[in-house]
Each structure stands twice: as structure tokens, then as C-alpha cells.
Structure 1
Amino acid sequence: METQSTSAPQSGQMVKSLSLWNYFTMGFGAIIGTGWVLLVGDWMIMGGGPLSAMIAFLIGALFLLPIGATFGELTAAIPISGGIVEYADRAFGPLAGHFTGWFLVLGNAILCPWEAIAISALLSSMWAQLPWLNWMNSVELYRVAGSPIYLYPTIISVSICLLVIHLNFKGAKSAAKLGGFLSKALLTGMVLAMAISLFKGSPANLTPIFEAIPADASGSAAEVSTQAGNFWYGILAVLVITPFFYAGFDTIPQSAEEASADLNWKKFGWIIAAALLASGAFYMLCIYAFGTIMPWTEAVTHPVPALSTLAFISMWFYLPMLLIATIGPVGPMNAFFGASARIMLAMGRKQYLPGSFAKVDEKSGTPKTANLVLAVATLIGPFLGGNLLIPLTEVSSFSFVLACSMAAASCLRLRYTEPDLPRPYQVPGGKVGIGLAVLFGGIIIALQVLPFSPAALKPVSWMIIAGWVILGIIVKRLAHHAS
């Protein structure tokens, strides 16, 4: 591994301190988070079984590999924070640059309050069930879409959010260290689940291969049911949401400007691929583990099956996993906070956002205005209910894939318009490999927007997206007039 140097920031510049290992742990930690703990039961229900969910996550990782490679090529060639804005601008012009960045902000920034909601949900639904902690749900404040908001889980979740906000104001290196620690904790949780599956479970519990689970038989907090009519449609139903759970590899290139001076850019694209493949293997192993500990059709009748199934076996297994699941969201929250701030920084530099977004704190080297906006958005999360997790997942997945597809298209166009641009890392397969990235991104988008798709976006998701587009137009005009 390369030696790591840390450069003090000059006025208006980012601190250059991140190594390849920092980038890997940042991306891996951002990807896996604890969505697998909260929603592994929902994945099995949506797919009609664990096998369809496992296949969907495998296909999702393979589809995103070429897209990740395009990010590697572009970042190594143009190593600036929030570079996706610059890529689209140089390839297709300022309007494309603005909305590419704007949708990636939506796709990434949503995950900060999403993870805060996840923490609150675990505290109120699982920790509060323990006899010595039942006081946690003693004070109900109000309800959002039917989900109760309790005082003490909210206070704890807000405190965790404040820690993440503090680290991101402090600088990228502090945030990266936290990501590395949490990645190890989550890996420990996966190893624990696999060990329990091997000794207590059975592959026979994966059957039936496909079975439709109605909402009234589902333990899902969002009352998810099987919409697919057969095994193959079940794979598609899960496939279209996998980008949300792989969102995080893009946090790697968003911090490119903070790379250490001696970083080996020829290996940069392989770090993104490694993060995607490691996360894909992680997800598949987790689905297998929790699909085999007990019959999957029984497991999904319980809330948060990844934890409930362990509680039936032993509290000595259950409590460590619950602790890991509760601190796990801090990793992706931390990574997406930093990535979103750097996209806003890039948009400020391009005058797509007000000029204050282009300023970097002289002491910490962090984008101060963007951090303030994201701090507010993150702190909203604990005050929202668990029923909002699925709609936010759909919107974030669509926004993320749309922005990543634009990055892939930009990579292809720049091969023609700027053929002499130095590219330390290049997409395997050249233009054919880049074309596959564009094609795969288009397929996932089509599955989300075509009305006959088993996982087409719901009307409420379209309303959020339409509102975001209108807000993007307003913000761009305000920034233009201000400049």
C-alpha cells in the first residue's frame, strides 16, 4: 500500500490526506450501512424469497461495475471534489452539469436523514422491547404517516447525528477514520450471522423458491407485500432498488480533491470495483444467512427479521447484533454527508448554487455552507417516521442511477471530445466498456419509469422528483442572478 502524506490546506483548498485504503473503507462503509439489518425481510418479501433477492443483488453489483469504472476513469483524469458536476458540464454543457449534480445531491443527501430514521426505528422497535429499556417508548411526541415518534429514541438519534456533523466540520480525515472503524464492526456482524446460519440454520429453509407474501402476513414496518407474480419478476422487483443499497461507491470519487499527494491513480478505479464486489458479496451472504436460520416464510412475519430470528436463538447472539445494527448507520450517514457537501461545493464553483457554497473553511478545509445545509437536513431525520423509509428509498435510487448514468455518458463523450486528456486509469474494454455502463444504467432507469414494470415509481415518488426539478430550476436562476 502506498505511504500516506498529509498536506496542510492552503487558503481555500481541501486537506490532501486520503489513501487508497481510506477510499475503500469510506466506500464500503457507505454502501453496506445497516439497510441489510432493517430491510433484509422486505427484500425477501419483494422478491418472493431469499434466492430471488440474492440474484438481484448479484446482478445489481455487476450492472454497476462498469459505471463504477467510468467514475474511476473520470476521477483519475479530473481529481476534484464533486467532480461529477464538472464531467457532465464539460461533456454536455452547464444545464446537464447542473441537473446531474442536483439529482446526485438528492440521491445522496436523502441518505443522511434516512440513516437517522433507521437509528430511531431500531431504538424504538427493538431496544425498547428489552425489559430494562421499555421506558424508551414511554413518551410519544406525535405520529408521522402512522409511525410514532418517541422522545428518548429521538434524543439519542439526534446526539449521533451531531457527532457525524461535528466530524464532517472537523475534516475528511476524521470522518474517514470513523468509516474504517464502522466497516470493521459491520463485517463482524456479518461473520456472526454467517456463523449462526452454519450451526443453527439449514439451506432447506430457503424453500419455497417463490411464494407471494401478502401485506397482512408481513412483519415489514412499511407493510411491504410481494407484487411480483413469479420468481423472475421477483428478481426484477428487487433489482430496481439495489442501486439505493449500492449508493456509496460514488462517495469515493466525490472526495478526490482530498487524495494524498502520493496516491496511485492507476489503481483508483479498482478501489471502486473492490468496494462494489465486496458489498455485493456481503449482501448475498447476509440474505443467505437470515434466510436459512429459520424458514424464510416464517422469518418475514416478524419485525426486522435479521434481529428477531437471532432473539429466538439466544440473547447472546441478539444483543451484539443489535448493537452493531444501531451504530452501523453512522458510517453511511458520515460518508453521504461528506459526499453531498462536496457535490454542493462543485456546484457552487460552477455558479449553479450561490457563491457561498464555493467557499472552503481555511482551517479545516471543509465546505462550510454545504455542511450547514446538510446538518439541518440530517437533524430532520430523527423527527420523521419509519414509514417514510421506502418512499425515500425509491426516490434516492432513481436519482442516484440517473446521475451515475449521466457520468457514464459523460465519460463516453469525453473520449471523443477530449481524447488527449491524461487518463491514469481507463475503463476496461475502452469505449465498449463505457457503452455497457450507459446501457446498464438505462436498463435500471427503464425498470423504474415504465408503468408495466413490477417496481415502477409510485405517484408520491414522482411528486417528490417533480418538486425537486422545480426547486432545481429556481435555485439555478437565483444563483445566476446573484452572480
Structure 2
Amino acid sequence: MAGSAAPTSGMKKELTLFNFFTIGFGAIIGTGWVLLVGDWMVLGGGPIPAMIAFAIGALFLVPIGMCFGELTAAIPISGGIIEYVERTFGRKLGFLTGWMLLLGNAPLCPWEAIAISKLLTDRFAEFPVLAWLRSVKLYTILGADVYLWPTLIALAFAVLVIVLNFRGASAAAKLSSFLTKALLTGMILAMIISFMGGDNLAKAMPPFSQVIGAAGGKSTEATSLLGGVLAVLVMTPFFYAGFDTIPQQAEEASENLDWKKFGLVPAIALLASGVFYLICIFAFGTIVNWHDFVMKPVPALAVLEQINIFFYIAMLIIATLGPLGPMNAFFGASTRLMLALGRKEMLPKSFAQIDPTSGTPKQANIVMGALTLIGPFLGGNMLLPLTAVASLGFIFACTMAGFACFKLRKTEPDLPRPYVVNGGKGGIIAAIVAGLIIVGLMVIPFSPAALKPVEWAITITWIVIGFVIFFACGGAKVAARKP
């Protein structure tokens, strides 16, 4: 029994623990493990520094995942992050937290649609039988060519995600379950190919060495093993973003869900993703000597193409399906955030409407559907600045969840908590410290992960637009309410 019952809203209660896990796992993994594994090795100076960094990154974020688990099990409502922060720090900060997490989630839906289009354009069109994919060029935007057929196919994938989300959380969860199995198949395939070559550890050596002029002219800037680990570590939060999608759909949990077990699901999704990344980095980094591996464009695919064309095609298909996981999870999370903002009159009240048939947020689905369909038309370079911006929105909200979890222990000590953070207040403090460190790395000038001027401009514009809407809807005048 959850600590604070969800509102009787007409939303269907169908999601199981496994559904929640696959939503989070699919949101985290995506396709970075195939497309960017070579960049991680160049940045860190080898597969070993990259593996150490991803292991630390997962452990670093686990306390934040546990804070989400405690809060969600106690207050299982859609877009719960807004409720947690509002109850502890007031409406304005509650709105800002939800609005920033929306910035961290919503842009990733069109971004994933672009990723599908790029894979079709850059990879599938290389096969002579599929050369027609690049036969009709529509236009060039910010230096990126947009072609007709890849755009239409990416739109078809996006429409699939949109339709499933319109049908309900259960239908969307089935897609996440299927994609989780596809991702695991890809990981196993990489392991098999790597171990077939033998001498895996030797191919990963030395533990650290600089690479000059790898694929795309990239070079290792770090000068030591520690420096390599730190260089990769600062960007791992972006590749672990997604576990926050799990709590946003808590209101649709099945009636007999064990909330004590649910509390561990965000942390388990993080750890499982960490293991997945470690295996893939090692497997791809030891198919051939890693120094040779990183010299090829998109090396994971390029090396497989040389080894076995059937393995290459299989991995290419899995990589193309990969973006559907984050698109599906972030679509659901974003619409639930909009629903929560509408319920609290921080957005127009129309966002609080629930479709009586599917039990999904009607207006929010329409807005997210339109945003997602725009993606394939924007070109591969249009949303690049949003990567860092989305990371800041995500980690800011995660840090606020830690603060809310800590303060709620004082302000509402009698609130039933089916699950509590392991390590007690020490675990919560660890979550807050982890969040503050990552936020600091992104906002302090001269930090390797500091936001660039254009990214600051996007962030500030987003916040200003948000508060204009907030005050226009009378959000500041509505008394805070507990569900």
C-alpha cells in the first residue's frame, strides 16, 4: 500500500514492476552504446578508463535513484517530482523543477527520431540495394542534409510510439519490453563476436594511452589514467538519464504492486544499465586492438562490417530500434509532467484532461506527438545544443528530488513510506552531494562540462517562457494541495 494514494483520475492501473524496469532501462540505453563507444575510448584513453568511469557514474547516481524510489512509493502520482518539491519548497520551485525536468525529457523525443533518420541516411543507404534512401534530398539545415525517405521512415517509427502512447501506458510498456530484449540481444552479440577473437584483455591494453587523430580527428586530451576516467565521468550522467522516467508514471501502477520493491526499481535500472555499458565497452573495445578500433568512423559498426556482414546487419537493425526506447519512455514521462502541471494550474487546465477510453493525458499527448513528429525534419545538427541543456534539466530535477526527500523526512515524518533510502539520511545526503557536484560541473566556468553560451541562452529562454506561462495561468495564486 502506497503512503499517499494516487488521485482517482481515470488513469488505468496496469503497469507491473517489470514494466517500470523496462521503461527506465530502455530510456537509459538508447543507441549511444553502439554509436559512441569509440568516442568514449578516445576521450578516456582506452576501454578500461571508460569502463571505470561508467561504473563510478552508475554508483554515483544510485542514491538519487533510491530517493526517487522512496518519494514515489510514498506519493505515487503522475509527474510526482512537482508534488514532492512543492510540498517541501513551495509552488515556484516545484514548478521550476518540473519545468526543468520537462526540458530534460521532451526534446529527447524528436532527437531520437533524428537518430533513426541519420542511421538510415548514413548506414543503410550504403547498401547498393538501399541507395534510393538518399535519392531525394529535401534541403540542408545547419549543414545537415535532410532526405525524403529516411525522414518518412523515421516519421513512421515516431507515429508507432505516438499511437501506442495514445492507446495507454500498457501498450507503450509492451514496446519497452520488446526493445529491452532487442538491446540485450545486441549486447550478447557483441560479446560473442569479441570472445571469438580471443586475447581480449591484451587488446584492451595498455590501461591508458593517448590517441591522436582518431575517427573524426578526435584526440585524447587526458594525460593519465585518472585524467581519462574523469574526462569520461563528467559526461556519464547524460547516458544514465532516463531512470527518472520510472516515477513519472507511478499513478498507472497495477493495484497489487509491491511498493517496497518498486522503491528499488530506479536504482536497479541504473545498475543494470551500468553493467550493460561495461560489457559493451569491453566487448567492442576488444574485438580488435582498441587503438585500431577507434580509428574508424562509428567503429562498432565499421568493425562488424569487416568481420561479418550478417553480424553487421543484425547490429545495425538493433541500433536503429534503439532510439525507440528513449523516445517511448520520455514521451510517457513528458506527458505525465504536463498532466501534473495542468492539475496544479501551472499550465492551462486543458493539460489536466484524461482521455476516458485510454486513461492517458489527452492534451499532453497531442503536444508531445506534434513535437516528436517535427524531429526528422530538423536535421542531425539542429538539436545538438539541447544535449547539454537536457542534461542540466535532468540533473537539476534529480538534485531537487534529493532535497525534497531529505526535508520531507522532517516535515512529514508520519508519511507512510513503503520503501526508505538505504543508508537512511546518509544515503539521501549522498544523493544531494552527487547532484550538486554534477550541477556544479555544468555551471561553473572552465569546467570540462560547462554549458556554452548558446546552451545558457536556451536554458534561460526556457525558464523565462515557463514562468510567463506559470503566472499567466495564475499558478502563483493557487494554494498548494496535497493529493
Identify the residue that residue 170 of structure 2 maps to in structure 1.
Answer: 173
The two structures have a TM-score, normalised by structure 1, of 0.93
| Offset of residue 375 of structure 1 | 1.0
Residue 338 (1) aligns with residue 336 (2): no
The counterpart of 1:131, out of the listed 115, 128, 132, is 128
Identify the residue that residue 416 of structure 2 maps to in structure 1.
Answer: 422
Residue 45 (1) aligns with residue 42 (2): yes
The counterpart of 1:299, out of the listed 283, 293, 299, is 293
Q: Distance in 2 between matches of 1:13 and 1:230?
A: 56
Identify the residue that residue 281 of structure 2 maps to in structure 1.
Answer: 287
Closer/same/farther in 2, CA of residues 393 and 225 from structure 1, 3 Å limit:
farther
Q: Which runs of structure 1 show a deviation greater than 6 angstroms over 4 or more consecutive aligned residues?
A: none
Amino acid at match of 1:462: W
Deviations 1:356-381 (A, max 9, x none): 11111111111111111111111121
Identify the residue that residue 206 of structure 1 maps to in structure 2.
Answer: 204
The counterpart of 1:88, out of the listed 85, 89, 92, is 85
The counterpart of 1:102, out of the listed 88, 99, 106, is 99
| Offset of residue 235 of structure 1 | 2.1
Closer/same/farther in 2, CA of residues 192 and 112 from structure 1, 3 Å limit:
same
Amino acid at match of 1:44: M
Q: Distance in 2 between matches of 1:200 and 1:396?
A: 39
1:46–1:226 Cα contact (<8 Å) kept: yes
Residue 157 (1) aligns with residue 151 (2): no
| Offset of residue 10 of structure 1 | 11
Q: Distance in 2 between matches of 1:475 and 1:298?
A: 53
Q: Distance in 1 between matches of 2:128 and 2:375?
A: 27
Amino acid at match of 1:135: W
Q: Distance in 1 between matches of 2:46 and 2:464?
A: 39
| Offset of residue 264 of structure 1 | 0.5
Amino acid at match of 2:432: V
The total of aligned residue pairs comes to 471
| Offset of residue 354 of structure 1 | 0.9
Identify the residue that residue 215 of structure 2 maps to in structure 1.
Answer: 219
Amino acid at match of 2:254: S
Q: Distance in 1 between matches of 2:211 and 2:381?
A: 19
Residue 76 (1) aligns with residue 70 (2): no
Deviations 1:293-348 (A, max 9, x none): 12223322322212111011010210111111111211111111001100111111
Identity of aligned residues (%): 60
Q: Distance in 2 between matches of 1:376 and 1:61?
A: 33
The two structures have a TM-score, normalised by structure 2, of 0.93
| Offset of residue 236 of structure 1 | 2.3
Identify the residue that residue 23 of structure 1 maps to in structure 2.
Answer: 20
SS of 1:89's partner is helix
Query: CA RMSD of the aligned region, Å?
Result: 1.9
Deviations 1:392-449 (A, max 9, x none): 3211111111110001110000001111111010001111110110011111111222
- Which stretches in structure 2 are left out of the alignment for 5+ residues? 1-5, 479-483
The counterpart of 2:369, out of the listed 375, 387, 390, is 375
Deviations 1:186-225 (A, max 9, x none): 10000000111111253222234334445xx3435xx655
Residue 182 (1) aligns with residue 179 (2): yes
Residue 466 (1) aligns with residue 464 (2): no
SS of 2:77's partner is coil
The counterpart of 1:197, out of the listed 179, 194, 197, is 194
Amino acid at match of 1:344: M
Q: Distance in 2 between matches of 1:370 and 1:300?
A: 42
- Which stretches in structure 1 are left out of the alignment for 5+ residues? 1-8
Deviations 1:94-153 (A, max 9, x none): 011001000100101121112111101110111111121112112222223222111111
| Offset of residue 250 of structure 1 | 1.2
Q: Distance in 1 between matches of 2:178 and 2:111?
A: 21
Q: Distance in 1 between matches of 2:7 and 2:226?
A: 55
Amino acid at match of 1:97: G
Identify the residue that residue 481 of structure 2 maps to in structure 1.
Answer: none
| Offset of residue 18 of structure 1 | 0.7
SS of 1:386's partner is coil
Residue 64 (1) aligns with residue 56 (2): no
2:234–2:448 Cα contact (<8 Å) kept: no
